Amino acid sequence: MKFFSSLLAASLLSAEVLAHPNHGSESPAILARHEHLSKRCNSHVAEFHKERYAEREQKRGLERRAGNTTYKITTAAPWFDVIHNDTCILSPEVTQGPYWWPRSVLLRQDMSEGESGVPLLLDIGVIDMATCEPLPKAMVSLWHCNATGSYSSFTGRSPDLTLGEQLVQLNITDFKIGLTDLHTDDTTFLRGMWPTNDNGIMEMKSIYPGFYAGRTIHIHIYFDSSLTDQLMTLEPYASHTAIERVTNEVDEYLPGSLGGGYNPYVSVVPMDGENFDNGVVGYITIGVDSEATA
Protein backbone atom coordinates (compact mmCIF):
# COMPACT_ATOMS: atom_id res chain seq x y z
CA MET A 1 0.00 0.00 0.00
CA LYS A 2 1.05 3.61 -0.46
CA PHE A 3 1.31 5.83 2.62
CA PHE A 4 1.20 9.64 2.69
CA SER A 5 2.42 11.13 5.99
CA SER A 6 1.53 7.88 7.76
CA LEU A 7 -1.99 8.05 6.33
CA LEU A 8 -3.15 5.19 4.15
CA ALA A 9 -3.81 6.49 0.66
CA ALA A 10 -7.16 4.96 -0.22
CA SER A 11 -7.87 7.17 -3.19
CA LEU A 12 -11.00 7.32 -5.29
CA LEU A 13 -9.63 8.28 -8.65
CA SER A 14 -11.24 10.15 -11.50
CA ALA A 15 -9.81 9.26 -14.88
CA GLU A 16 -10.02 9.50 -18.66
CA VAL A 17 -10.21 6.77 -21.27
CA LEU A 18 -6.56 5.76 -21.01
CA ALA A 19 -6.47 6.06 -17.24
CA HIS A 20 -7.57 2.53 -16.36
CA PRO A 21 -4.99 0.20 -17.90
CA ASN A 22 -5.03 -2.04 -14.82
CA HIS A 23 -8.79 -2.66 -14.83
CA GLY A 24 -9.44 -6.29 -15.57
CA SER A 25 -5.73 -7.15 -15.46
CA GLU A 26 -5.68 -8.65 -11.95
CA SER A 27 -4.75 -12.31 -11.73
CA PRO A 28 -7.50 -14.88 -11.09
CA ALA A 29 -6.00 -15.47 -7.64
CA ILE A 30 -6.27 -11.79 -6.68
CA LEU A 31 -9.82 -11.55 -8.03
CA ALA A 32 -10.81 -14.67 -6.07
CA ARG A 33 -9.24 -13.25 -2.90
CA HIS A 34 -11.09 -9.95 -3.27
CA GLU A 35 -14.38 -11.72 -3.86
CA HIS A 36 -13.81 -13.87 -0.77
CA LEU A 37 -12.96 -10.83 1.38
CA SER A 38 -16.00 -8.96 0.12
CA LYS A 39 -18.36 -11.80 1.01
CA ARG A 40 -16.70 -12.36 4.39
CA CYS A 41 -17.24 -8.72 5.36
CA ASN A 42 -20.86 -8.49 4.13
CA SER A 43 -22.48 -8.24 7.55
CA HIS A 44 -19.84 -5.82 8.85
CA VAL A 45 -20.35 -3.48 5.91
CA ALA A 46 -24.12 -3.64 6.32
CA GLU A 47 -23.81 -2.70 10.00
CA PHE A 48 -21.32 0.05 9.13
CA HIS A 49 -23.84 1.53 6.71
CA LYS A 50 -26.71 1.16 9.16
CA GLU A 51 -24.82 3.10 11.83
CA ARG A 52 -23.93 5.91 9.41
CA TYR A 53 -27.49 6.18 8.12
CA ALA A 54 -28.82 6.22 11.69
CA GLU A 55 -26.40 8.95 12.73
CA ARG A 56 -27.43 11.13 9.81
CA GLU A 57 -31.09 10.53 10.63
CA GLN A 58 -30.44 11.78 14.16
CA LYS A 59 -29.06 14.98 12.67
CA ARG A 60 -32.13 15.68 10.57
CA GLY A 61 -33.55 19.11 11.15
CA LEU A 62 -30.04 20.50 11.55
CA GLU A 63 -28.90 22.82 8.83
CA ARG A 64 -26.33 21.22 6.57
CA ARG A 65 -24.33 23.23 4.09
CA ALA A 66 -24.17 21.92 0.53
CA GLY A 67 -22.61 24.18 -2.09
CA ASN A 68 -24.16 27.64 -1.77
CA THR A 69 -27.54 26.42 -0.53
CA THR A 70 -28.63 25.27 2.93
CA TYR A 71 -30.72 22.10 3.15
CA LYS A 72 -32.11 20.03 5.97
CA ILE A 73 -31.82 16.25 6.16
CA THR A 74 -35.43 15.21 6.72
CA THR A 75 -35.51 11.53 5.82
CA ALA A 76 -33.95 8.30 6.98
CA ALA A 77 -31.54 6.80 4.48
CA PRO A 78 -32.11 3.16 3.55
CA TRP A 79 -29.82 0.47 4.87
CA PHE A 80 -29.23 -3.05 3.71
CA ASP A 81 -28.57 -6.45 5.27
CA VAL A 82 -25.97 -7.26 2.63
CA ILE A 83 -23.54 -5.24 0.57
CA HIS A 84 -25.71 -3.23 -1.79
CA ASN A 85 -23.78 -1.75 -4.71
CA ASP A 86 -21.54 0.17 -2.37
CA THR A 87 -18.34 -1.75 -1.81
CA CYS A 88 -15.18 -1.84 -3.83
CA ILE A 89 -11.80 -3.26 -2.92
CA LEU A 90 -8.92 -1.07 -3.97
CA SER A 91 -5.70 -2.60 -5.21
CA PRO A 92 -2.48 -1.63 -3.35
CA GLU A 93 -1.84 0.88 -6.14
CA VAL A 94 -4.28 2.40 -8.60
CA THR A 95 -3.65 4.47 -11.71
CA GLN A 96 -4.08 8.17 -11.12
CA GLY A 97 -5.09 9.22 -14.62
CA PRO A 98 -4.21 12.23 -16.79
CA TYR A 99 -6.28 14.73 -14.76
CA TRP A 100 -4.50 14.08 -11.48
CA TRP A 101 -2.45 17.14 -10.48
CA PRO A 102 -1.07 16.83 -6.93
CA ARG A 103 -0.34 20.55 -6.51
CA SER A 104 -4.06 21.26 -6.79
CA VAL A 105 -5.35 18.74 -4.24
CA LEU A 106 -6.11 20.59 -1.01
CA LEU A 107 -6.76 19.21 2.46
CA ARG A 108 -10.41 20.18 2.94
CA GLN A 109 -13.93 18.77 3.30
CA ASP A 110 -15.68 21.16 0.91
CA MET A 111 -14.16 21.15 -2.56
CA SER A 112 -17.07 22.77 -4.41
CA GLU A 113 -15.47 26.26 -4.58
CA GLY A 114 -18.78 27.77 -5.70
CA GLU A 115 -19.07 25.58 -8.81
CA SER A 116 -22.60 25.46 -10.20
CA GLY A 117 -24.44 22.16 -10.06
CA VAL A 118 -26.56 19.90 -7.89
CA PRO A 119 -25.03 19.74 -4.38
CA LEU A 120 -23.41 16.38 -3.58
CA LEU A 121 -22.39 15.19 -0.12
CA LEU A 122 -20.33 12.00 -0.15
CA ASP A 123 -20.32 9.88 3.01
CA ILE A 124 -17.33 7.56 2.57
CA GLY A 125 -16.48 4.71 4.89
CA VAL A 126 -13.22 2.76 4.70
CA ILE A 127 -12.82 -0.74 6.14
CA ASP A 128 -9.81 -3.01 6.40
CA MET A 129 -10.88 -6.13 4.52
CA ALA A 130 -8.39 -8.22 6.51
CA THR A 131 -10.27 -7.50 9.75
CA CYS A 132 -13.64 -6.20 8.44
CA GLU A 133 -13.19 -3.25 10.82
CA PRO A 134 -13.37 0.50 10.03
CA LEU A 135 -9.99 1.97 9.10
CA PRO A 136 -9.08 5.32 10.70
CA LYS A 137 -6.62 7.84 9.25
CA ALA A 138 -7.13 6.61 5.69
CA MET A 139 -6.56 9.55 3.35
CA VAL A 140 -9.31 9.68 0.73
CA SER A 141 -8.49 11.88 -2.25
CA LEU A 142 -11.20 12.97 -4.69
CA TRP A 143 -11.27 14.93 -7.92
CA HIS A 144 -13.77 15.15 -10.75
CA CYS A 145 -14.96 17.38 -13.56
CA ASN A 146 -17.45 20.22 -13.20
CA ALA A 147 -21.01 20.35 -14.54
CA THR A 148 -19.85 20.93 -18.11
CA GLY A 149 -16.97 18.45 -18.13
CA SER A 150 -13.90 20.54 -17.28
CA TYR A 151 -11.29 19.61 -14.67
CA SER A 152 -9.56 22.25 -12.58
CA SER A 153 -5.87 22.67 -13.47
CA PHE A 154 -6.83 21.46 -16.97
CA THR A 155 -9.34 24.13 -18.00
CA GLY A 156 -7.33 24.72 -21.16
CA ARG A 157 -8.18 21.19 -22.33
CA SER A 158 -11.48 20.67 -24.13
CA PRO A 159 -13.95 18.33 -22.39
CA ASP A 160 -15.40 17.65 -25.84
CA LEU A 161 -12.28 15.81 -27.03
CA THR A 162 -11.17 12.39 -25.84
CA LEU A 163 -7.71 12.06 -24.37
CA GLY A 164 -6.54 10.39 -27.57
CA GLU A 165 -7.84 13.27 -29.68
CA GLN A 166 -6.13 15.79 -27.42
CA LEU A 167 -2.81 13.96 -27.68
CA VAL A 168 -3.04 14.05 -31.48
CA GLN A 169 -3.86 17.76 -31.32
CA LEU A 170 -0.84 18.35 -29.06
CA ASN A 171 1.39 16.09 -31.19
CA ILE A 172 2.23 13.97 -28.13
CA THR A 173 3.23 10.44 -29.09
CA ASP A 174 4.90 9.23 -25.89
CA PHE A 175 2.14 9.92 -23.34
CA LYS A 176 2.64 8.19 -19.99
CA ILE A 177 0.03 8.33 -17.24
CA GLY A 178 1.43 10.03 -14.17
CA LEU A 179 4.47 11.33 -16.06
CA THR A 180 3.25 13.43 -19.00
CA ASP A 181 2.20 16.88 -17.77
CA LEU A 182 -0.98 18.14 -19.46
CA HIS A 183 -2.04 20.73 -16.87
CA THR A 184 -2.74 24.28 -18.05
CA ASP A 185 -3.44 26.37 -14.94
CA ASP A 186 -3.52 26.46 -11.15
CA THR A 187 -7.26 26.28 -10.47
CA THR A 188 -8.32 23.85 -7.72
CA PHE A 189 -12.11 23.46 -7.91
CA LEU A 190 -13.56 20.00 -7.24
CA ARG A 191 -10.35 18.60 -5.80
CA GLY A 192 -9.88 17.69 -2.17
CA MET A 193 -8.72 15.11 0.32
CA TRP A 194 -9.45 14.32 3.95
CA PRO A 195 -8.58 11.48 6.34
CA THR A 196 -11.17 9.17 7.83
CA ASN A 197 -11.97 9.75 11.48
CA ASP A 198 -11.60 7.24 14.31
CA ASN A 199 -14.72 5.49 13.00
CA GLY A 200 -13.31 5.10 9.49
CA ILE A 201 -15.59 7.76 7.99
CA MET A 202 -15.04 10.96 6.03
CA GLU A 203 -17.43 13.40 4.35
CA MET A 204 -16.79 15.55 1.31
CA LYS A 205 -18.99 18.31 -0.12
CA SER A 206 -18.97 18.75 -3.87
CA ILE A 207 -21.40 18.89 -6.80
CA TYR A 208 -22.80 16.12 -8.95
CA PRO A 209 -20.26 15.74 -11.77
CA GLY A 210 -20.95 16.41 -15.42
CA PHE A 211 -19.48 14.51 -18.33
CA TYR A 212 -16.68 14.72 -20.86
CA ALA A 213 -15.82 12.91 -24.07
CA GLY A 214 -15.43 9.16 -23.92
CA ARG A 215 -16.55 8.42 -20.34
CA THR A 216 -19.72 7.98 -18.36
CA ILE A 217 -20.29 10.26 -15.37
CA HIS A 218 -18.04 9.12 -12.54
CA ILE A 219 -15.66 10.00 -9.74
CA HIS A 220 -14.09 6.58 -10.20
CA ILE A 221 -17.24 5.57 -8.34
CA TYR A 222 -20.42 5.50 -10.41
CA PHE A 223 -24.02 6.68 -10.15
CA ASP A 224 -27.30 5.03 -11.12
CA SER A 225 -28.28 5.81 -14.71
CA SER A 226 -31.82 6.92 -13.83
CA LEU A 227 -30.50 9.50 -11.35
CA THR A 228 -28.02 10.84 -13.89
CA ASP A 229 -30.73 11.02 -16.57
CA GLN A 230 -32.86 13.11 -14.20
CA LEU A 231 -30.13 15.53 -13.15
CA MET A 232 -28.72 16.05 -16.65
CA THR A 233 -31.96 17.83 -17.60
CA LEU A 234 -31.05 20.63 -15.19
CA GLU A 235 -28.76 23.58 -15.82
CA PRO A 236 -25.83 23.92 -16.17
CA TYR A 237 -25.61 20.24 -17.17
CA ALA A 238 -28.23 20.59 -19.90
CA SER A 239 -26.19 23.31 -21.63
CA HIS A 240 -23.43 20.82 -22.45
CA THR A 241 -24.71 19.79 -25.87
CA ALA A 242 -21.54 19.76 -27.98
CA ILE A 243 -21.06 16.00 -27.52
CA GLU A 244 -23.26 13.02 -26.78
CA ARG A 245 -23.07 11.77 -23.21
CA VAL A 246 -21.65 8.28 -22.72
CA THR A 247 -23.89 6.21 -20.43
CA ASN A 248 -23.07 3.47 -17.92
CA GLU A 249 -24.45 0.89 -20.31
CA VAL A 250 -21.86 1.59 -23.01
CA ASP A 251 -18.91 2.92 -21.00
CA GLU A 252 -15.83 0.95 -21.98
CA TYR A 253 -14.24 0.86 -18.55
CA LEU A 254 -17.12 0.46 -16.09
CA PRO A 255 -17.41 -3.34 -16.64
CA GLY A 256 -13.81 -3.77 -15.51
CA SER A 257 -14.77 -2.23 -12.15
CA LEU A 258 -17.40 -4.87 -11.37
CA GLY A 259 -15.50 -8.15 -11.09
CA GLY A 260 -13.74 -9.87 -8.22
CA GLY A 261 -15.44 -7.96 -5.42
CA TYR A 262 -15.30 -4.55 -7.09
CA ASN A 263 -18.69 -2.84 -7.01
CA PRO A 264 -18.30 0.92 -7.30
CA TYR A 265 -21.90 2.18 -7.38
CA VAL A 266 -23.00 4.81 -4.86
CA SER A 267 -26.15 4.41 -2.75
CA VAL A 268 -27.99 7.73 -2.84
CA VAL A 269 -30.82 9.57 -1.05
CA PRO A 270 -32.24 13.06 -1.68
CA MET A 271 -30.52 15.67 0.45
CA ASP A 272 -33.83 17.28 1.41
CA GLY A 273 -35.64 13.96 1.72
CA GLU A 274 -37.83 14.69 -1.27
CA ASN A 275 -36.16 15.62 -4.53
CA PHE A 276 -32.73 14.75 -5.92
CA ASP A 277 -32.81 17.99 -7.91
CA ASN A 278 -32.14 19.82 -4.64
CA GLY A 279 -29.11 17.77 -3.66
CA VAL A 280 -27.75 14.23 -3.32
CA VAL A 281 -26.26 12.37 -0.36
CA GLY A 282 -24.15 9.44 -1.54
CA TYR A 283 -22.88 6.55 0.60
CA ILE A 284 -20.09 4.18 -0.32
CA THR A 285 -17.77 1.91 1.63
CA ILE A 286 -14.26 1.31 0.35
CA GLY A 287 -12.70 -2.01 1.28
CA VAL A 288 -8.90 -1.82 1.47
CA ASP A 289 -6.96 -5.07 1.14
CA SER A 290 -4.28 -4.15 3.66
CA GLU A 291 -2.50 -7.50 3.33
CA ALA A 292 -1.94 -7.20 -0.42
CA THR A 293 1.71 -7.08 -1.38
CA ALA A 294 1.58 -6.38 -5.11
Bridge partners of residue 270, in order along the sequence: 280
Is there a contact between 223 and 229 (Cβ–Cβ < 8 Å)? no
* Average pLDDT value for residue range 69-76: 32
Of 1-5, 26-30, 92-96, 215-219, least confident by mean pLDDT is 1-5
Global confidence as pTM: 0.78
Q: What confidence tens digit (pLDDT) does each residue in 136-170 have? A: 888 888 999 999 999 999 999 999 999 999 999 99
Question: If you average pLDDT over every residue of the chain, what do you get?
Answer: 77
CA distances from 235 to 49, 109, 231 (A): 32, 25, 9
Q: Within 10 Å of residue 136's Cβ, how many Cβ atoms? A: 16
The percent of residues above 90 in pLDDT, for the chain, comes to 44
Across 220-233, average pLDDT: 95
User: Which ranges constitute the DSSP H helices of 187-243?
Assistant: 225-231
**Pairing of β 7-9 and β 69-72:** unpaired
**Average pLDDT, integer, range 27-53:** 70
Q: Of 264, 270, 269, whose CA–CA distance to 284 is shortest?
A: 264
Neighbours of 40 (CB within 10 A): 12
Over residues 3-16, mean pLDDT: 32
pLDDT tens digits, residue range 247-263?
A: 999 998 888 777 655 66
Name the 3-class secondary structure at 238.
Answer: helix
Name the pLDDT band for 176 (thresholds 50, 70, 90). confident
Answer whether 106's CB lies under 8 Å from 158's CB.
no
> How far, in whole angstroms, is CA 250 from its chain's centroid?
19
Span 98-136, pLDDT tens digits: 888 877 888 999 999 999 999 999 999 988 888 888 988
Angle of CA points 192, 253, 172, to nearest 5°: 75
d(CA 40, CA 32): 12
Say what the pLDDT of residue 261 is: 57
| pLDDT range class, residue 31, cuts 50, 70, 90 | low
